[in-house]
Amino acid sequence: MLNNLSINDLTTCHLTTYHLIMKQNSSKWTQVILLFVIYTSSTISTNCLPAFFPEIIKEFGWTIGQVSEPTSYYFIIIALFAPIVGYLLTKIPAKTLMLFGITLAFVSQILLSKITSYTQFYAIYVALSIAITFSGLIPSMVIIANWFQEKRGVAVGVLLLGSSFGGIIYPQFAKFLMPEYGWRIALLGVACLGAFLSYLPMFFVRNKPSVELNLTKNSIEEKDGITLTEAFKTNTFYVLLIITASFWFCGFGVLSHLRLYLNEHHFDLEKATNISSIFFVFSIIGKLFFGYISDNFNKQNILILATIFLILGIVCLKMIDQNVYMAYGYAIAYGFGYSGAFAMIQLTVADVYRGKSFGNILGFVNSFDSIGGFLGVMLLGKFHDIDGSYNFGINVLLSVCCVALFCSILLKSMSLKPINQNF
């Protein structure tokens, strides 16, 4: 039959194929940008709401431990729902789950601005934890995995930039509104802006390439891969779980208590917000840098480098008593390191466990992440209430970071399949 085709027919076929490939490449990067915008808003509950805690404490007279307790159980709810979302992703399109999560988050943030009791505060944080599980990283990673095989590191890096940009935009927006209108109106403003920047891009999100554009086997769904049960039989999986739980313990432990910690060291609202913004600026730099080099170098070496930056950041935080400018050192080192560590874990899981069970495996990994986040937020609050300061809690954070470094070095000696080995 090939002999019956004319040169013009073959040329037309090649040109059509070329245009389809170019259209697919354009479409997949469009999807990344859309998911990035949505992710800026889906992380409001972790990156922005803690900025309201000092005002909430002042109004209701709650302790730091009381305020941090619901935010710590927030991670336990995520841990419970992450495997459920992972399973649902094998049955329901990711976009549908994300729309549910976005709506729940918007309603919860509005209700949070109207609380009158601790019980309401607690219940709303339960709803927020469910919302971010449905609208956040797990479904976004599955969509990206369906669109990308090559350049996945850059794609994931761009996606993760969303939380960093959200951590800059929304606290600054809240800081602008709070002095004039109070924390309740400021929170309403944040909720409305977040909803607008979530619903609008969701109209254009597509779960995976259409049949006619899916010219290469880039979709996670087209590969059998390893199952969750099989992953449990490997030592590598448990080391990855320890590393990622350690990162979340330190990362969200610090983020949830940073404003309160800086308050104790006499940083006013403007300075504390600026330090938080510097953290997220360097988080952006870190995600772009580590995402880019992960497509060309060994991810385990990059993970070790990022963990070292995490340790440097905690050391700077510990030294604020001696020099207040160490707060800026923390923001630079910790922002750079945490973003790199977080990106490398996501990419390692995507590389090693890609396949039909990827959603299930990622859901379980995120569940374990959340347990680490829960322990970090809760224990820092409890340690503060017992000790009267954050000194002991900071030492615990430093110890957990060292455990993560040891496990990252151990991971390098295990049997993984990184794309390249030339770093």
CATH of the domain at 69: 1.20.1250.20
* Closest of 308, 314, 319 to residue 279, by C-alpha: 314
Give the per-residue pLDDT at 147.
Answer: 82
Nearest to 293 by CA among 284, 283, 303: 303
Domain-embedded: residue 420? no
pLDDT digits over 176-226, tens only? 899 889 999 999 999 999 999 999 999 999 888 865 444 444 444 445 567
Whether residue 421 lies inside any domain: the answer is no
> In total, how many domains does the chain have?
1
- For 203-329, list the strands marked E by DSSP: none
Q: How far apart are CA 417 and CA 423, in angstroms?
A: 14
Residue 213 lies in a domain: no
Could you give the C-alpha distances from 245 to 78, 228, 239, 253, in angstroms and in order? 13, 18, 10, 11
Closest Cα to residue 396, out of 68, 300, 237, 387? 387
Q: Which residue has the tokens 């430093």?
A: 398
Contact 396, 271 (CB under 8 A): no
Asked whether residue 215 is assigned to any structural domain, the reply reads: no
Nearest to 347 by CA among 310, 298, 309, 284: 298
Please tell me what DSSP assigns to residue 50: G
Q: Are 44 and 167 in contact (CB under 8 A)?
A: no
Neighbouring C-alpha atoms within 13 Å toward the C-beta of 286: 31
Q: Is residue 418 part of a domain?
A: no
Q: Residue 320 contacts by C-beta under 8 Å, 6 or more apart in sequence?
A: 265, 326, 327, 330
What's the pLDDT score for residue 225? 64
**Locus of tokens 């309201």:** 52
Contacts 24+ apart (CB under 8 A), 123-126: 125/45, 125/70, 125/71, 125/73, 125/74, 126/70, 126/73, 126/74, 126/77
Distance, CA of 375 to chain centre: 17
> Which residues, in sequence order, are CB contacts of 59 under 8 Å at separation 6+?
183
Q: Which residues of the chain, if any, have pLDDT below 70?
A: 1-26, 210-225, 354-356, 415-423
How far is the CA of 162 from the CAs of 17, 138, 260, 288, 328, in angstroms?
33, 14, 24, 11, 22
Q: Is residue 388 part of a domain?
A: yes
Q: Which residues of 175-209 are buried (b: 16+ CB within 10 A; e: fewer)?
A: bebbeeeebbebbbbbbebbbebbeebbeebbbbb
Buried b (16+ CB within 10 A) or exposed e, 136-151: bbbbbbbbbbbbbbeb
Please check whether residue 263 is in contact with residue 389, taking contact to mean a CB–CB distance below 8 angstroms: no
In the chain, the N- to C-terminal Cα span, in Å, equals 49
Nearest Cα to Cα of residue 153 among 14, 350, 332: 350
In this predicted structure, what is the pLDDT of residue 99? 95
What pLDDT shows up at residue 134?
A: 93
- Burial (CB < 10 A; 0-12, 13-18, 19+), residue 266, is exposed
Residue pair 384/401 in contact by the 8 Å Cβ criterion? no
Task: Give residue 382's domain range.
Answer: 10-207+221-412
